[in-house]
Structure 1
Amino acid sequence: MVKIGIVTGSTRKARVNMQVAEWVKDFAEKMDLEAEFEIVDIKDYDFPMFNEDLPPAMANKQYSTDAINAWSKKIDELDGYIFITPEYNKSVTASLKNAIDYIGPEWGNKSASIVGYGSTLAVAATLSLRQILGNLNVATVAPFGAFSLFTDFENMSTFKPAEIHNATIENVVTTTVNWAKGLKTIR
Structure 2
Amino acid sequence: MVNIIWVFLTVIGIIFAMVNGTMDQVNEAIFNGAAEAVTLCIGLISVLVFWLGMMKIAEDAGLLKKLSLLFRPIVKKLFPDVPNDHPAMGYILSNMMANMFGLGNAATPLGIKAMEELKRLNGGLDVASRSMITFLAINTSSITLIPTMVIAIRMKYESASPTEIVGPTLIASFCSAIGAIIIDRYFYYRRKKKA
* TM-score bracket for this pair, using the shorter chain length: 0.3 to 0.5
Q: Which has the larger radius of gyration?
A: 2
Higher helix content, 1 or 2: 2
Query: Taking structure 1 as the reference length, what is the TM-score of the superposition?
Result: 0.34
Q: Normalising by the residue count of structure 2, what TM-score does the alignment of the two structures yield?
A: 0.33
